[in-house]
Amino acid sequence: MTSIQIGPTGRITSGRWTGQTIKIEDDSSETGGYYLYIGPDQLGVQGGDFWVEADDLEATFQRFGWEVEWSEGAGS
Protein backbone atom coordinates (compact mmCIF):
# COMPACT_ATOMS: atom_id res chain seq x y z
CA MET A 1 0.00 0.00 0.00
CA THR A 2 1.12 3.55 -0.70
CA SER A 3 2.12 5.92 2.08
CA ILE A 4 -0.60 8.36 3.03
CA GLN A 5 0.42 12.00 3.05
CA ILE A 6 -1.64 14.86 4.42
CA GLY A 7 -1.37 18.17 2.57
CA PRO A 8 0.51 17.57 -0.69
CA THR A 9 -1.26 16.74 -3.91
CA GLY A 10 -0.69 13.35 -5.48
CA ARG A 11 -1.76 11.47 -8.59
CA ILE A 12 -3.67 8.20 -8.16
CA THR A 13 -1.68 5.60 -10.10
CA SER A 14 -3.76 2.54 -9.23
CA GLY A 15 -7.28 1.82 -8.05
CA ARG A 16 -10.49 3.77 -8.36
CA TRP A 17 -10.08 7.15 -10.08
CA THR A 18 -6.69 6.21 -11.55
CA GLY A 19 -5.13 9.24 -13.23
CA GLN A 20 -6.89 11.77 -11.05
CA THR A 21 -5.31 13.96 -8.40
CA ILE A 22 -5.88 13.56 -4.68
CA LYS A 23 -5.34 15.94 -1.78
CA ILE A 24 -6.07 15.13 1.86
CA GLU A 25 -6.92 17.90 4.30
CA ASP A 26 -6.70 17.25 8.03
CA ASP A 27 -9.90 18.43 9.69
CA SER A 28 -9.59 16.16 12.73
CA SER A 29 -9.60 19.04 15.21
CA GLU A 30 -13.01 20.23 13.93
CA THR A 31 -14.77 17.13 12.62
CA GLY A 32 -12.64 14.19 13.74
CA GLY A 33 -11.68 13.27 10.19
CA TYR A 34 -10.20 14.15 6.83
CA TYR A 35 -11.50 15.70 3.64
CA LEU A 36 -10.35 13.92 0.48
CA TYR A 37 -10.44 15.97 -2.71
CA ILE A 38 -10.31 14.02 -5.94
CA GLY A 39 -9.39 16.32 -8.80
CA PRO A 40 -9.66 16.11 -12.53
CA ASP A 41 -7.71 13.65 -14.62
CA GLN A 42 -5.95 14.63 -17.85
CA LEU A 43 -9.29 14.53 -19.69
CA GLY A 44 -10.95 16.85 -17.17
CA VAL A 45 -13.09 14.13 -15.53
CA GLN A 46 -13.89 15.18 -11.95
CA GLY A 47 -13.98 12.82 -8.98
CA GLY A 48 -15.44 15.04 -6.25
CA ASP A 49 -14.74 15.16 -2.56
CA PHE A 50 -15.75 13.33 0.58
CA TRP A 51 -15.03 13.09 4.29
CA VAL A 52 -13.76 10.10 6.25
CA GLU A 53 -13.28 9.55 9.96
CA ALA A 54 -9.65 9.71 11.09
CA ASP A 55 -9.65 5.99 11.97
CA ASP A 56 -10.94 5.09 8.49
CA LEU A 57 -8.36 6.87 6.33
CA GLU A 58 -6.10 3.86 5.82
CA ALA A 59 -9.10 1.57 5.25
CA THR A 60 -10.38 3.99 2.60
CA PHE A 61 -7.09 3.73 0.71
CA GLN A 62 -7.31 -0.05 0.89
CA ARG A 63 -10.98 -0.16 -0.14
CA PHE A 64 -10.34 1.94 -3.26
CA GLY A 65 -7.05 0.14 -4.02
CA TRP A 66 -5.16 3.43 -4.17
CA GLU A 67 -1.51 3.76 -4.96
CA VAL A 68 -0.53 7.42 -5.06
CA GLU A 69 2.50 9.21 -6.43
CA TRP A 70 2.87 12.26 -4.21
CA SER A 71 4.34 15.59 -5.29
CA GLU A 72 8.12 15.74 -5.26
CA GLY A 73 9.47 16.86 -1.93
CA ALA A 74 6.27 15.95 -0.06
CA GLY A 75 6.70 14.73 3.50
CA SER A 76 4.93 11.88 5.24
- Flag whether 13 is in a domain: yes
- Flag whether 41 is in a domain: yes
- Flag whether 1 is in a domain: no
> If you average pLDDT over every residue of the chain, what do you get?
90
33 Cβ neighbours under 8 A, 6+ residues apart = 27, 51, 52, 53, 54, 56, 57
- Looking at residue 1, its pLDDT comes to 61
- Looking at residue 19, its pLDDT comes to 92
Q: How far is CA 46 from the centre of its chain?
A: 14
Torsion of CA 47, 51, 56, 60, to 10 degrees: 0
Model confidence pLDDT, tens digit, residues 18-47: 999 999 999 999 999 999 999 987 788 778
56 vs 45, more confident: 56
- Flag whether 76 is in a domain: no
- Flag whether 22 is in a domain: yes
